[in-house]
A and B are shown apart, each in its own frame.
Chain A
Amino acid sequence: QITLKESGPTLVKPTQTLTLTCTFSGFSLSTSGVGVGWIRQPPGKALEWLALIYWDDDKRYSPSLKSRLTITKDTSKNQVVLTMTNMDPVDTATYYCAHRRDPGGRFDPWGQGTLVTVSS
């Protein structure tokens, strides 16, 4: 059974850097084809894909947020870390990590999500 769980601060100040950790079990990020992605959802709004890291350390970022995002993995700890710089109140959202699988690049399953509020 695959599970993922997000952890990190619930409140960050504007201009600060957000660091979120996704801890997973039930699969290995060294297995060919596997990936872990981050998706966020502002309150009452739609899902937005942020970043994804593949088993071979290939990294992909949302073109609109690429300059602010960094995704890394620690295979030995079964963790994926996302950092987002220069946080703004519009970045207030629930942040999800999810297991990416083939074929087709679907996200299944998802973590429970963590709400991050950006406010001074």
Chain B
Amino acid sequence: QSVLTQPPSVSGAPGQRVTISCTGSSSNIGAGYDVHWYQQLPGTAPKLLIYGNSNRPSGVPDRFSGSKSGTSASLAITGLQAEDEADYYCQSYDSSLSGSGYVFGTGTKVTVL
């Protein structure tokens, strides 16, 4: 039921740059709601990675960056490291005729080759 679409998987060699897209619509990202990103390492709870489209919480390396444009958002990881292998989810808010509430993306698995 996810209304935010992400690629199922992306991969890259150590040191490379990868990007993950999060495509929404006019009722969520396009309506101006903030986009947040979470990292979920295997067997653990999600952890906030980027908030408010492009802000990093304290302790998150600056090789993680976020952006938003129109009805989409992106997460970029530069200088990919083995420890970045995880699932990544975007999150926003959706308000439509059928109701409103928080929404998550379909999730993207990042593999470090």
Q: Does A104 contact B101, Cβ atoms closer than 8 Å?
A: no
**Among listed A7-15, A16-24, A77-85, A110-118, interface-contacting one:** A110-118
Enumerate chain A interface residues (CB-CB to B < 8 A).
37, 39, 46-49, 52, 60-64, 66, 96, 103-113
In the complex, which residues 95-109 of chain B have their Cβ closer than 8 Å to any Cβ of chain A?
98-107
Q: Does B46 contact A104, Cβ atoms closer than 8 Å?
A: no
Q: When the two chains form the complex, which single residue of A60, A64, A107, A108 contacts B1, counting CB atoms closer than 8 Å?
A: A64
Enumerate chain B interface residues (CB-CB to A < 8 A).
1-2, 33-34, 36, 38, 45-48, 51-52, 57, 89, 91, 93, 98-107
* Chain B residues with CB below 8 A from A66, complex form: 99
Assembly CA distance A52 to B91 (angstroms): 15
* Chain B residues with CB below 8 A from A105, complex form: 33-34, 36, 93, 102
Assembly CA distance A109 to B58 (angstroms): 13
Q: Does B105 contact A46, Cβ atoms closer than 8 Å?
A: yes
Q: When the two chains form the complex, which single residue of B2, B34, B107 contacts A106, counting CB atoms closer than 8 Å?
A: B34
Contact of A107 with B48 at beta-carbon distance under 8 Å, contacts A46-B2, A48-B1, A64-B1 already known:
yes
Question: Least Cβ distance of B108 to chain A in Å?
Answer: 10
Contact of A48 with B104 at beta-carbon distance under 8 Å, contacts A106-B34, A110-B46 already known:
yes
* Cβ-closest chain B residue relative to A39: B104
